[in-house]
Amino acid sequence: MIIKPLDRDALRARVREATPFPNLCIDGLLDEEFAHRAADAFPSFEQALTMGRQFAALNERGKVQVTNSALFPEPIAELNRALASPEFRDDLSYIFEIPELLDDPHLIGGGMHQTGPQGHLDVHVDFNFEQDRKLHRRLNILVYFNRDWRPEWGGEVELWDEDVKVRHHAFLPVFNRCVIFATSEASYHGVTAVKCPPGNTRKSFAAYYYTQQAPEGWDGKAHSTVFKARPDEILKGKVLMPAEKMGHWVRSTLRGAKKLIKSK
Ligand SMILES: O=C(O)CCC(=O)C(=O)O
Ligand SMILES: [Fe+2]
């Protein structure tokens, strides 16, 4: 058993109390010896670049992602199988009270992630619908493999309220820590700047779970990642966010400017 047995009732109680949306942080999820083997098996950042896809966008910088499970080194392939197994999905269904969770064999958006120094991920909600299989994305799991990660190296996964005004959690990506949370229209999360020294990276494995059935209260709209500025990034929110928001800001600012001119 590479995943340690879970106290399902205690964890379900924790999820019920969780804020600002259903989430769990579990330390030591994996058998310790296995977790070390998985950490050792991560390719270097440079190797990963030849195996996967790099992110260089403004909102998500300095990250490389390998989703093709055929390329996973054996311990990572084993982890992937364990996270996708019916037994583990059943535990998650019970703990998060979401029946019949399905895995994603294509690991869209998931797999081995590595972020180098200066990388970061702006606050966002993830895509909510998998078009090919017509499934609803419900749960994210992230397992971190960073031994000796120092708090000053940042790279925390943050959980925010829906308005991105209050940060409820900031979990450091330390070795064998696992963060699981609901994917919903309200589950805003991000990753703070990674400040590890050159030669180090922030390593994680991500998997997502889906249901056939739409979540309660779904408005019927499928969307890709939606970014929102953090409170200290208001300038970014206004100037560097998507075009439709930009248009709104330009119009309202022009209106404001006109008012100023008129009142003189
Ligand atoms: O790496 C993390 O901690 C979060 C990643 C994430 O939110 C994403 O890839 O959508
Ligand atoms: Fe995300």
- The preferred substitution site among 142, 159, 228 for testing ligand 1, maximizing ligand atoms within 8 Å of CB, is 142
Q: 81 exposed, middle or buried (CB, 10 Å; 0-12, 13-18, 19+)?
A: middle
Does one domain contain both 148 and 239?
A: no
Q: Which CATH number do you get for residue 33? A: 2.60.120.620
Does one domain contain both 116 and 204?
A: yes
Q: How confident is the model at residue 61 (pLDDT cuts 50, 70, 90)?
A: confident
Where does 109-164 show beta strands of DSSP type E? 111-125, 129-130, 135-144, 157-160
Does one domain contain both 184 and 253?
A: no
Ligand 1 centroid from CA 124, angstroms: 9
CB 164 within 8 A of CB 124: no
As for the ipTM of the complex, it is 0.98
- Cα(68)–Cα(72) distance, integer angstroms: 7
Does one domain contain both 176 and 133?
A: yes
Number of domain units in the chain: 2
Range of the domain at 69: 8-230
Q: Is residue 129 pLDDT above 50, yes or no?
A: yes
pLDDT confidence of residue 238: 54
> Tell me: the pLDDT tens digits for 67-88?
999 999 999 999 999 999 999 9
pLDDT confidence of residue 242: 54
Q: Residues with beta carbon inside 6 Å of ligand 1?
A: 113, 121, 126, 142, 157, 189, 191, 204, 206
Residue minimizing CA distance to atom 6 of ligand 1: 190
pLDDT confidence of residue 164: 96
Name the β-bridge partners of 24.
180
Does one domain contain both 256 and 216?
A: no
- Cα(101)–Cα(136) distance, integer angstroms: 10
**Residue 2 resides in a domain:** no
Task: Report CA Rg, the chain.
Answer: 20
Residue 167's CB is within 10 A of a number of other CB atoms, namely: 19
Does one domain contain both 180 and 254?
A: no
- Please report the sign of the dihedral spanned by the C-alpha atoms of residue 115, residue 117, residue 122, residue 123: positive
User: What tokens were used for 119?
Assistant: 């990388």
Does one domain contain both 221 and 255?
A: no
pLDDT confidence of residue 240: 57
Side chain identity, residue 197: P
**Residue 3 resides in a domain:** no
Does one domain contain both 82 and 61?
A: yes
